[in-house]
Structure 1
Amino acid sequence: MIEDKSKNESKDKNKILISAKNLREAIKTAAEKLGCPERNIRYQIIQNPRYIFFGLWSQSAKIIAWKHDALNMHVAEALRAASDIDGHISTELINSELRLTVYAPIGRGIPVSFEKVITNLREYEPDELDEEKVRDLVNRADGKSETVGRISKSGGRDGTFSIDVSKDGMEAYLTLFPPGKGGRKIDLEDIIKGLVREGIVYGLKEDIIKWAISENRYNESILIAEGNSPVPGADGRLEFKFRKDLHIIKLKEDEKGRVDYKNLELIEMVKAGDILIERIPSELGEAGKNVYGKESLPLSGKDVELPQGENIKVEGNTMLAGIEGHVIWSTGKVTISPVYYVKGDVNYSTGNIDFNGTVCIDGLVEDSFSVKAGGSIIVKKSIGKCKISAGGNVTVLGGILGRQEAEIDIDGDLVALFIENAKLKVKGNLITSEMILHSNAIVGGEIFLNGVRAALVGGSVTAGRDITVRSIGGEGTSRTSVRAGVKYKYAVKQLELKEEMARIDSIIEKIDTAIKQVESNKETSSDYVNTMKQLITRKNQIQLHLKALREESRTLENEIDLNSAHASINVYELVMPGTKIEIGNTSMVISNNIKYVTFKKLGVKINVMPYEGKSIE
């Protein structure tokens, strides 16, 4: 078979080959070259990009792209729609002759029916009507006009009208038909009589009827009466007797700009039997009425369920505390969490704490101890190099002194005076009024440092949403990395992969060292061949595992690239040179001091613009 190249060239002449570092940039380039919006680009992937590390791509993305012609598509659609047209008729009265023309349908259109044509002709009230000729014209549908009846009375036929009512009886429509030459127009009295005859008595629009008559609005379906639909009653609702926003930390400052951590109002205590919620039942609505004047039953509003969680009692429409404890509103349920109080420090006198509720510690948490709570944790002094885990919020009034070993894992928000040398995983927001020093943090929500010394210095922080600080970086310190717009689950998975790949690299390094040692002593080794075989086999297995981890890491990078949230990094005062700024997978390193600035990702680049973040005191 010989290929017709001229046809293929004509077919593909509007297609172009694009090569770029990633798919998104390839689509953008194609749109620029083809002169159309990105949404009109259609493409075929020839080669997927491959990502290594730190913004380096080992293999570019290649696509064949072409412009999707929306205009031609709409034209074709219009032509297709026009290809299916129902059959129709035209009638005219010439002297006393009633003439009929029947047109055939087009495409899959529906032909006119004999009964519909006869009904239309009888509206002229002819003296004679040749129904057999009418049937013949309907069957032929050839577009030829012929006489099918005669009207001998003086003057033309009078105007007529029809009234149609919707199936639910809520709307009535009027259609006026014009009189013949010399015939009488329909007037308001005719319409009123017709409405009475049909039993339509409610919701009449007399002004509309008068307008249709005066303006000769013939052959239009016009709404002239409208009933009232039944109005649903008010839905049931809940009246909360406690603050639902206790999980939202509201920092208050004194006249000197210092945050008041002593009166955070994070815990609302209740006693057994205290009322938590009153349910207000739904109400009965208003009855409706159709155009015939018939009433319909009123509708009741929707009832609402009481959000009963653990340690809750319900009496009728009232929800009460079942025990004394701390009120928690979470995942649409109200629960009462028991509170465990530590009057002093967490140390050898208390041991580690594991409590399925809220923990309040009057003192500090000493080094090497752990506190685990199903609810929130309040520490009125400081936390040392220890492990903290909470299902709710954690507040540390005296700050965190991690000494490279503190590990904090929180499902809610973390509020602290400062954080130093700690590892943090926080699904909610992270708020401090002073520095975060040489710490590594993954935060699902927002990072907000609000205070005179609110700075990020050293370490790495990642946030799912915005990051707002007074300053970033410091002279003579290790690089500070600040990353926004990465979902919590992606950031955690990326850290796990990085740590596992580092562990595997370390194992491979040890195997290589062992291979060299065995190789250097092969002459004195009694089992050289078997030992080398075991080491090489093990190394190959480990390398295959490392290859799979790297592939998973590249896939994750692509996921982050496609799902990066719209986030910004806001610096109220100064960004120091050497700071690494990242939004999603896009990064830049600051080379000079920058002041009062916001970083945002636009397209495939990070833009530097005037400060747009929250006010910092």
Structure 2
Amino acid sequence: MQAPRQYVACQIHGDAAVEIIISEDEMQATAGAYTPPFGDGAPLSATSLVKLLTRAGIRMPPPPSVINRCVEAVRAGEDIAGTVLVRGREPEDARDATIIPVGDWRYPVIPNEEIGLIVQAAPSKNGVSVTGKSLPPTYEGSGKPIDFPAGCNCRIDQRTFSIRTEVFGQVELQGQTIYVKDWIKVSPDAMRVTGTVHHRDNAGNILTRERMQQALAALGIVASLEARSYENALAKAMETDQAINNVLLCKGTPPLHGQDGTFEFTAEDKRHVVGLLSEGDRMDFRARGAIRAVEKGTILGHIKPPVPGLVGRDVHGNVLPAREGQPCLVAARENVVYKTGTRTFVATETGVVVFAHNAIAVTDVYEVQGDVNIAVGNITLEKGSLHVRGSILSGFTIEVPGNILVDHVVENSRITAGGAVEIRGGILMECGGFIKAGSDVAAVFAMNATIEAGGDVSIKHELTNCIVKAEGRVLATNGRGKIAGSTVHAARGVMAQEVGSELGVATVIVLGKESVRDQQRFARKRELEGVIRKITAGLGKDSDVAILKRTPPEKLPTIGRLLQTRNKAALELLDIERAISEEREAQRAAFLATRLKVNKTLWPGVVIHAAGTQHRVAHAVQHCQVYYDPDQKQMVMLSL
């Protein structure tokens, strides 16, 4: 029997095919060998290629552009083997926010200008393989944002995510925290601006004077740039490419306070000059207690009017008020006339000039040609002044309404003068002797003396074991100027070369005038408060109109008078309270102005009193001043 025939089955028709190769990590699929169509098979198309990918297990959609490019390549007879058809999506870790700097942050940034752009933080995302497997990220979560702490001197625009600086300075980024270091410093009193200077900004612009002035203006600083200081710093920064620190940029204009009017003597002084030069090298005639002999018609002095003040401005342009100069008030007294047109004082009689308590007079003078001794006896004058051309010996009493001038020495005597006392020699006293003057007292030295002066006490060399009370100052600065073993009470301060001694001799300095309250004024204040309180208790606190509206017609006259009384009392009370406030402010100013000034040495053992407080000097201090500060309520010691 013939064996049956065997036939090999073969495909007559076949569509074009592409081998799909999946990478080991399944993150990409590439084209392998290409099989062209045969028979009536269909050529390769985008649709058929996508189906081939799907049958191969690909779940990621391929990019249409890649599919189309492969199909076109096959049609053109090009080999597509190795072409990546589809890629998986890699997992993404969380990403912190970052800043894209605008310009070079090594250089300063300008206020209100853009300094960077924020790339926002992004959370983590899962990846997907080409076969559709989910791939977790290494680090899951959300990225960290950029931190803008309080006082960072910059801000973010939430609309554009741009960063703008609020100051002139340098950007510092530490981790996720941004900060702009302020290079501009304004002094506490707003009178001085210093800063760090570089030659260019972050954008590469040269920081010319004009551009720096604009940067300061953006910070509210309107004072003109200090040209020389800035140009020098700019040149150095340009040469070294380094920032220059502590450069003076701007200064405010301090107020120019007005000058008070002054009184200046013009009459020739034919006697020995006995006064002291005050601070500023201006002769202080009250301090010298000058006794001047002038002829009738002599011009004694003239008034200089005050000079008005000029306001200042701080670096922000704020006005700083200036204190106005005050007129000098000097009264013309006995035998003196004031001529308004020329502002001069003229003597109407021959005599001695007396200047005390802001008044000038010319008086007659009683002279003793030698010593005041047993042959002369006590001296009491009803009018005028006294000139002793010798000494005043112990045991005598002198009472003079004007001035006393002694050419030599005063021993243990009792001397009272309505004006000044000048002793061209010294004072040597024992128990019971004293000098009391309505104006200044001046001497070369004083020992064991009790001195009371309505003005200044001026001692050239030594003030030893004395009790001194001066309504003005106690001055010991022209010669040796030493105050030791004494109790000195000076209403307007003490100036000396030395106070105390190396041996620690007890010396007491009392600064300032005792506060005396105006009892009559305070009594009137209490009285007015009582009147207002009593009327208000009866009528109420409503307005006058409201009270009158509810008052019966028959009581209107009485109620009207009560309201009028209350209103007058309120106005007077306001004036009294204002006067009390002004008095307290004047007392505060007096405390600050009243000082102990020691040009050389303030020795241990000295006790300083002021305003109920005391300061005991424990060790030697050179060139110092001591005063009571009413704001701190304590004594303050500073160097001269």
TM-score if structure 2 supplies the norm length?
0.37
Q: Normalized per residue, which structure has more helix?
A: 1
**Computing the radius of gyration over CA atoms, which structure comes out larger, 1 or 2?**
2
TM-score if structure 1 supplies the norm length?
0.38
